[in-house]
Structure 1
Amino acid sequence: MSQDNPIRIFASHAFQEHEDYHRLFEYLESTTNFFYSNSAVPDKVPAEDAEEALKDELREQIEPAEIVIILAGLYDEFHEWIDFTLLVAKSSDKPVIVIEHFGSTQEIAPEIAKIADEVVSWNELSIVDAMRRQARHEETQRWDVIEFDMPE
């Protein structure tokens, strides 16, 4: 993966701004040597505000993505749009990553947990590694190196 070949993602939204949506991109931007492009545009609401026009817009935004990221924190408030996003993702054979609720021990809704290809916590390395595994099938094993001085 390089700047010339970024991972194409779609991050769930309900045509509204949400702090978890912004938080996801803060996490991704804080990761070095990780390149992505986001096809989700939450503020691109069709002029015709009918439900079918909104669904068509979501389909268009999901289509170019390699993976779909579902933010569990949006499910309680916007479950009908998240359910539709999951339906489109799975019918298009796109892997789904669910990111747990931020700062909460709240369980992920069973409906989205069973559909997810992978569930991760709010940790930038966990999120990026899941994206690499699901989108590009890259090996993402990491080893922590701890340096210390031995007393003489």
Structure 2
Amino acid sequence: MSEKDPIRIFVAHLFDEDADYSRLFEYLESRDNFFYVNTSRPDDMPAGGGEAIRDTLRKQINAAEIVIVPVATHNRNPELVDFQMDLAESLNKPLLGIRSFGGTVMLSKELLQRCADVVEWNDRVITDAIRKLARNEDTSQWEVIDFDPDLL
């Protein structure tokens, strides 16, 4: 992954930018050397409803390499998010679940089974999971803890 070859991501949405949707992009932007293109367009609500909504989502998901599903978004409208997940699976796009911020929403068994991985709200963990699922890149990053042995 480079600036010239960013990862194309789709974030499940309900045609509005809720808190988890916006928060996810804040987390992604906080990581150095993580380049992505957002194929989801929550502000692009088609006027026709029904089939027009499904067509719009098909175009957005088809352009992505990975589909990210915030649990809270799924709980707000399971039917629409399930459609997005079904479409992603039919297009062989990996699904990455993100637990609700603060753990306020329970993760359903179905969502847990359908997602290739489910992660917490941690910028490094999220970007590592995206790299692994979208491009099969192993980041092998380790946490470094600085401490003064003289204080022990």
TM-score, normalising length from structure 2? 0.94
Residue 149 of structure 1 and its aligned partner are, at CA, apart by: 4.0
Aligned partner of 2:45: which letter?
V
Cα deviation, 1:3-40, whole Å, max 9, x if unaligned, reads 10000000010112201000000000011110000000
Gaps of 5+ in 1: none
**SS of residue paired to 2:102:** coil
Residue 122 of structure 1 and its aligned partner are, at CA, apart by: 0.5
Query: Take 2:57 and 2:125, find their aligned partners in 1: how far apart are those partners?
Result: 26
Could you tell me whether the CA contact under 8 Å between 2:10 and 2:61 is conserved in 1? yes
Structure 1 or 2: more helix by fraction: 2
Could you tell me whether the CA contact under 8 Å between 2:71 and 2:105 is conserved in 1? no
Change beyond 3 A, Cα 1:58–1:145: same
Aligned partner of 2:143: which letter?
D
**SS of residue paired to 2:3:** coil
- Which residue is equivalent to 1:26? 26
Residue 104 of structure 1 and its aligned partner are, at CA, apart by: 1.8
- Which residue is equivalent to 1:65? 64
Gaps of 5+ in 2: none
**SS of residue paired to 1:103:** helix
Q: How many residues align?
A: 151
Cα deviation, 1:68-120, whole Å, max 9, x if unaligned, reads 00010111211111100000000000000000011125321122111100100
**SS of residue paired to 1:34:** coil
TM-score, normalising length from structure 1? 0.94
Q: Percent identity?
A: 47
- Which residue is equivalent to 2:73? 74
- Which residue is equivalent to 1:95? 94
My pick for the range that moved more, 9-18 or 106-115, is 106-115
Query: Take 2:139 and 2:50, find their aligned partners in 1: how far apart are those partners?
Result: 40
Aligned partner of 2:2: which letter?
S
Query: Take 1:131 and 1:18, find their aligned partners in 2: how far apart are those partners?
Result: 21
Measured on the aligned residues, the alpha-carbon RMSD in Å equals 1.4
Query: Take 1:106 and 1:40, find their aligned partners in 2: how far apart are those partners?
Result: 23
